[in-house]
């Protein structure tokens, strides 16, 4: 009891130092419950990525999926923590979902400048990086304010250049890139060109085979290293912000 109180105090100290505004979200299993079943599955994913037959260890990894709400951000975040917990492995978690950012809710930081402002030329990379209480894990948020024209921004060559620049500048780190759903936007396809590996996410009893197959089209097949079946089926279907793409019907 005494020990956990002391650890909590230490955690709070680290969060304050890192600019966090509250307790990290409970869904960050790798942080709160590193010995849980879910955390064990995330470690398995890390091990798999590090020991793929006939492939070198990918350093720039994108997490994507066909539909909204399949668990991309959660898996990207937990994977980033799992890698950062390894010996000498530094990680930059990059949020490339400009329309529906969620990492600030998981890691509890205030709205902060990031990818959007950098590619618009109003912020510098080094000024946008957010420290986390997890040693060796840094976050590049998506945007302080959601841009009016995210697709145009992302379609622009600037997004590709940014991923390239991040990967060159932080060549000692893993880059874990959280993206928006493939069926809603073209963003993941643009980002896919700049990454070394793509991890797909599908949600149990939620992702239809046809949606999944459609999502695979247009992605470079040789970069897809695997699919995480996010075995979560109790969540209620949620309405999604990208209404103009009209894919509530998939629910
Ligand atoms: N394995 C899981 N266990 C518990 N909750 C989960 C799990 N996977 C996803 N969730 C919950 O489902 C919701 C959607 O997850 P998440 O935001 O990671 O999905 P996403 O694919 O990033 O969504 P979006 O496409 O909207 O960005 C969140 O509330 C998250 O906490
Ligand atoms: Mg997400």
* 238 domain residue, yes or no: no
Atom from ligand 1 closest to the CA of residue 69: 23
* 242 domain residue, yes or no: no
Query: Can you give the residue range of the structural domain that contains 94?
Result: 2-232
Other beta carbons within 10 Å of 222: 9
Helices (H), the chain: 2-18, 29-32, 37-50, 72-84, 103-107, 115-120, 125-128, 150-155, 157-169, 187-192, 209-216
pLDDT computed for residue 15 by the predictor? 56
* 135 domain residue, yes or no: yes
* 251 domain residue, yes or no: no
Q: How far is the CA of 251 from the centre of ligand 1 (A)?
A: 15
CATH of the domain at 206: 3.40.50.300
102 in ligand 1 pocket by Cβ < 6 Å? yes
* 59 domain residue, yes or no: yes
Q: How far is the CA of 217 from the centre of ligand 1 (A)?
A: 23
- Count the helices and strands in the chain (H runs, E runs): 11, 7
Q: How far is the CA of 81 from the centre of ligand 2 (A)?
A: 16
* 11 domain residue, yes or no: yes
* 23 domain residue, yes or no: yes
C-alpha 75/C-alpha 78 separation (Å) is 5
Section 67-77 average pLDDT: 95
Per residue in 191-214, pLDDT (tens digit) is 999 999 999 999 988 899 999 999
71 in ligand 1 pocket by Cβ < 6 Å? yes
68 in ligand 1 pocket by Cβ < 6 Å? yes
The yes-or-no verdict on residue 20 having pLDDT over 80 is no
pTM for this prediction: 0.87
* 104 domain residue, yes or no: yes
* Total count of domains within the chain: 1
pLDDT computed for residue 27 by the predictor? 95
């Amino acid at each position: 009891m005494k020990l956990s109180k002391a650890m909590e105090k230490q955690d709070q100290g680290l969060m304050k130092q890192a600019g966090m505004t509250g307790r990290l979200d409970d869904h960050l299993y790798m942080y709160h419950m590193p010995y849980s079943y879910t955390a064990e599955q995330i470690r398995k994913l890390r091990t798999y990525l590090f020991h793929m037959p006939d492939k070198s260890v990918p350093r720039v990894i994108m997490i994507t999926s066909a539909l909204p709400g399949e668990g991309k951000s959660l898996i990207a975040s937990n994977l980033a923590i799992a890698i950062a917990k390894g010996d000498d492995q530094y990680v930059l978690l990059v949020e490339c979902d400009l329309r529906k950012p969620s990492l600030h809710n998981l890691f509890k930081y205030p709205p902060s400048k990031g990818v959007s402002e950098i590619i618009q030329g109003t912020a510098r990379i080094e000024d946008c990086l957010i420290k986390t209480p997890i040693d060796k894990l840094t976050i590049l948020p998506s945007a302080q304010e959601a841009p009016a024209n995210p697709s145009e921004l992302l379609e622009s060559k600037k997004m590709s250049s940014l991923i390239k620049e991040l990967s060159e500048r932080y060549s000692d780190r893993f880059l874990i890139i959280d993206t928006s759903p493939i069926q809603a936007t073209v963003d993941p396809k643009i980002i896919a060109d700049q990454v070394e590996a793509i991890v797909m996410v599908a949600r149990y009893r939620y992702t239809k085979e046809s949606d999944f197959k459609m999502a695979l089209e247009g992605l470079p097949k040789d970069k897809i290293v695997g699919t995480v079946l996010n075995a979560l089926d109790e969540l209620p279907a949620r309405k999604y912000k990208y209404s103009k793409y009209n894919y509530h019907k998939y629910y």
